[in-house]
């Protein structure tokens, strides 16, 4: 998969390093470790999962000290098992010890997201449904977290409020209905802006289908609908536009959701609540 350019990642890593180093740097290491001590270390998986964030880990070590050599043995998107070596680093002992936590925090956070995403992706592999993310991301890390979703095999939903239209229930309520909402959107949206609309009932879906000639949408978001209703909805739509299911998705129920024939299943918790993937640094 395509890495994000360093120029987008650097501010994240600089902030992370500076918040850890504070105003005096690494007291313990500076007091104890001789300046000429050299170290080799490996970042090893202690848990099964999918790697993401190798570039962030590399930047954590090399922005702290450009003389550190960083060799990636795995790539973002690759599966790892307990004991697998992801990275070998070598350089001044002080530099490795002072930047390892930042590297690990970044790598294990993104790998956690990739791993959870991938479990869902695998669970629905018999179906056409894609797993995708939401805007429920950790503040400041959206671009990295959405990258991790891609590493896990998922697709990205909107990156922000500005790159597609997603008409939600509140918008419909304020607008006074689906018709005026769609009219206003079509009057204003640029030609590269896709339009998706949230649907809570099949009656609403019928309304949207009836407008498809004049006020077409690219996708509907079926929020919190049980599988049987989803299946009915998919049937009604008949491939005219994409159908996204959302809300209450778990590793247990995702397969049954996918079996309804929906095109997309969006899941908030893969970014906002994924536990980190356990990765450790071992000397030697």
Binders in 57-96 for its own copies, by CB under 8 A: 63-65, 93-94
The site that binds its own copies (CB under 8 A) totals a number of residues, namely 104
Q: Does 279 bind its own copies (CB under 8 A)?
A: no
- Interface positions, 195-214, toward its own copies (CB under 8 A): 196
Judged by CB under 8 A, the stretch of 42-50, 78-86, 206-214, 265-273 that binds its own copies is 265-273
Angle between the 142-151 and 93-123 helix axes, to the nearest 10 degrees? 60
40 is catalytic: no
Q: Does 255 bind its own copies (CB under 8 A)?
A: no
Residue 105 structure tokens: 């925090």
- Interface positions, 142-171, toward its own copies (CB under 8 A): 142-143, 146-147, 155-168, 170-171
Nearer to its own copies, 25 or 82 (CB): 25
CA dist 114 → 8, 71, 269, 270 (Å): 19, 21, 12, 8
Three-class SS of residue 221?
strand
223 is catalytic: yes
Q: Does 194 bind its own copies (CB under 8 A)?
A: yes
The correct pick among 44, 98, 111, 260 for binding its own copies (CB under 8 A) is 98
- Interface positions, 217-246, toward its own copies (CB under 8 A): 218-219, 242, 244
Q: Does 108 bind its own copies (CB under 8 A)?
A: yes
158 is catalytic: no
Nearer to its own copies, 174 or 203 (CB): 174
CA angle 123/124/130 to nearest 5° reads 130
- Residue 87 in contact with residue 96, Cβ under 8 Å? no
Residue 1 structure tokens: 């998969």
Nearer to its own copies, 136 or 255 (CB): 136
Beta sheet of 130-132, edge-to-edge order: 130-132, 264-266, 242-246, 219-223, 195-199, 165-167
Instruction: Return the number of other C-beta atoms located less than 10 Å from residue 38's C-beta.
Output: 12
Query: Shortest Cβ distance from residue 278 to its own copies (Å)?
Result: 10
- Residue 199 in contact with residue 205, Cβ under 8 Å? yes
H or E segment at 196? strand 195-199
101 is catalytic: yes
Angle between the 93-123 and 6-21 helix axes, to the nearest 10 degrees? 120
Q: Report the distance separating Cα 155 and Cα 26, nearest Å.
A: 39
The correct pick among 121, 254, 264, 270 for binding its own copies (CB under 8 A) is 264
Query: Shortest Cβ distance from residue 147 to its own copies (Å)?
Result: 8
Query: Shortest Cβ distance from residue 271 to its own copies (Å)?
Result: 10
Residue 131 structure tokens: 């797993």
- Interface positions, 33-52, toward its own copies (CB under 8 A): 33-35, 37, 39
Classify strands 264-266 and 279-283 as parallel, antiparallel or unpaired.
Answer: unpaired
Output the CA torsion 165→170→176→179 (10° steps).
30
- Interface positions, 127-146, toward its own copies (CB under 8 A): 130, 132, 135-143, 146
The active-site residue out of 18, 168, 184, 282 is 168
213 is catalytic: no
The active-site residue out of 136, 158, 236, 255 is 136
């Amino acid at each position: 998969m395509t890495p994000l350019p360093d120029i987008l990642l650097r501010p994240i890593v600089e902030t992370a390093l500076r918040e850890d180093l504070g105003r005096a740097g690494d007291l313990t290491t500076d007091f104890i470790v001789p300046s000429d001590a050299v170290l080799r270390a490996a970042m090893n998986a202690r848990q099964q999962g999918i790697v993401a964030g190798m570039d962030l880990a590399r930047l954590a070590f090399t922005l702290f000290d450009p003389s550190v050599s960083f060799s990636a043995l795995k790539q973002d998107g690759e599966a790892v098992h307990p004991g697998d070596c992801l990275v070998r680093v070598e350089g001044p002992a002080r530099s490795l010890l002072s930047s390892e936590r930042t590297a690990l925090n970044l790598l294990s956070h993104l790998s956690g997201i990739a791993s959870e995403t991938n479990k869902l992706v695998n669970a629905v592999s018999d179906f056409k449904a894609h797993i995708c993310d939401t805007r429920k991301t950790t503040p400041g890390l959206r671009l990295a977290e959405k990258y991790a979703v891609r590493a896990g095999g998922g697709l990205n939903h909107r990156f922000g409020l500005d790159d597609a239209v997603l008409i939600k229930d509140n918008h419909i309520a304020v607008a006074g209905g689906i018709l005026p909402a769609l009219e206003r959107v079509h009057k204003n949206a640029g030609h590269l802006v896709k339009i998706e609309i949230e649907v809570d009932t099949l009656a609403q879906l019928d309304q949207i289908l009836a407008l498809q000639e004049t006020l077409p949408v690219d996708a509907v978001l079926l929020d919190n609908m049980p599988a049987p209703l989803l299946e009915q909805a998919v049937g009604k739509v008949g491939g005219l536009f994409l159908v996204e299911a959302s809300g209450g998705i778990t590793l247990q129920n995702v397969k049954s959701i996918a079996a309804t024939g929906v095109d997309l299943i969006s899941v908030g918790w893969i970014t906002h609540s994924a536990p980190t993937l356990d990765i450790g640094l071992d000397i030697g």
